[in-house]
Amino acid sequence: MQLKVLNNKLKVAKLKVGYRIPEIIFKQEFYSITKTDEELSIVLDEDVNIQGDIIEHNWRAIKIVGTLDFALIGILSKISTVLAQAKISIFAISTYNTDYILIKENKLEKAIKVLKENEYQFI
């Protein structure tokens, strides 16, 4: 399986449900917005100014390269298990096509190393 580290430095913001999302977010190369009845979570570039209840800085994203068929089983589970065994926590984002694993920047090199040791390839 091929993986790719995205160049973007990211942050994760927890906002109140009624928060008005600034237009600048929609112009970013990479962002993710999830709304529930309890919160609004946004993953966005580190350099975009946003006010949130809680903001976690210094994330990097690893993308699973290619389009994943819904019939495939355990892809994210296997990667997260490898990283958990190395004591690396993740923040996962799934899209229709693929999955992204967010890792704190200070753990990125270690994550790449352990994933390579488990036969994952980086492009």
Cross-strand pairs, 9: 60
Confidence of residue 66 (pLDDT cuts 50, 70, 90): confident
In sequence order, what E strands does 16-51 have?
A: 32-35, 40-45
- The single-letter DSSP state of residue 18 is T
pLDDT value at 70 more than 70: no
Residues 8-28, mean pLDDT to the nearest whole number: 92
Q: What is the pLDDT of residue 52?
A: 82
| 3-state SS class at 36 | coil
50 CA to centre of own chain: 18
**108-117 helix and 75-85 helix, angle to the nearest 10 degrees:** 110
Q: What is the pLDDT of residue 17?
A: 83
Alpha helices in 18-123 (DSSP H): 75-85, 108-117
Q: What is the pLDDT of residue 13?
A: 95
Residues 87-107, mean pLDDT to the nearest whole number: 95
